[in-house]
Structure 1
């Protein structure tokens, strides 16, 4: 076993209790497997370890590589998520409200010009504020030209909440300090907090 700044490294799969003790917030457990181990086997070992750990705040990820690894991450616990619940609900409501306004303006006024490649189609004004925009696939990235605040929204379902996009919205706003602090593991913590809060309409 070796220990790094953000991880404890095991060569081979150790007992689940040893893994459980080694993983704290901000420090992962990384299980290195034999380089010849095929991915289906890695996945089976990860599933077995997940079952033995039997904790819903421990995330177990199987990864290919040389060597393949299993990473165990401790996520935000229920108490901390509860402490952030009101702010998370405000964050989701703020995101949905602004996403609907931006997407509504985009679809009504900008999308036709964008399709014709008009020169002014890359910007939009909402409530006196100017936003730069970049459509891509089913989404559009809106960025406030003054503050850099980013809204990445589904142009067909602006109310849809993607954990990664919601975290970007919070981080680029400079607000929602409790939620941002709780997301030490970024996307993974945001996924867990949304699940614990029972937030629906999450984009898959």
Structure 2
């Protein structure tokens, strides 16, 4: 488990979600702006992109997109390599504006890489206002618990880990304090702590200078690591995007 935890430092925030999802690849029917009769395939968090390449003019009209993008599925639109990034961003801006009336839909642009110059857009349906408000009390409890633990661990950091580093000494890892055992990994202004208890497996990223600060990604990872907030974690089908939307809709912070 510790090796898995170490590997998560700096991980892609989009992977902080339930492990198996369905992905809608933009089928020719969708590209032709007709009723979308797409199929889905089970894919992991590193879903493959569709092979069908399109131009910005081939994007479905907003009415079709609203029908095809359902909760828990992602619509992918892969552009041909001839489409420039400027054209992609223009298509992104127009699509985002066209879907603005549907606050649940999120449009994201993705640049190509050195090995694959094709750029693409994804459209995701985020958690609804009603669902976010239903979970408001649970989310508020999660934030309060996260902050309380973050404050306690920030004190541990300042009293033990930071002074040892300033003296050029190694601080024990895991660190045994008041009957608790915490594995830690310092990186920048944050320190990742993992509970070494027999009955717990908690992970929490702490801003060591501002422990009250809430990062949606780190909050979601904490919710995932404890069995007390599985309802929150399960509701975040779109990972950090859903968590960020919930925090904004409920105005907890």
TM-score, normalised relative to structure 2: 0.73
Moved more, 7-16 or 77-86: 7-16
Please tell me whether residue 187 in structure 1 is matched to residue 240 in structure 2: yes
SS of 1:93 mapped into structure 2: helix
2:111 alignment partner, one of 60, 64, 69: 64
Count of aligned pairs between the two proteins: 200
**Aligned counterparts of 2:94 and 2:70: Cα–Cα separation in 1:** 20
Query: Which structure would you say has the larger RCO, counting Cα contacts within 8 Å and 6 or more residues apart?
Result: 2
Q: 1 CA distance for matches of 2:152 and 2:178? A: 9
1:5 and 2:56 are equivalent in the alignment: no
Work out whether 1:137 is the aligned partner of 2:188: yes
The 2-side partners of 1:35 and 1:78 are apart by 38
Q: Which residue number corresponds to residue 80 of structure 2?
A: 34
| Partner in structure 2 of residue 81 of structure 1 | 132
User: In the alignment, which of 192, 195, 220 is matched to residue 167 of structure 1?
Assistant: 220
State the 1:127 CA deviation: 4.6
State the shift of 1:53 in Å. Answer: 1.2
CA distance in 2, matches of 1:40, 1:17: 25
- Distance, in Å, in 2 between the alignment partners of 1:139 and 1:129 is 20
Whole-angstrom distance in 1 between the partners of 2:89 and 2:235? 28
Quick one: distance in 2 between partners of 1:32 and 1:157?
A: 40
Structure 2 residues not aligned, in runs of 5+? 1-25, 28-38
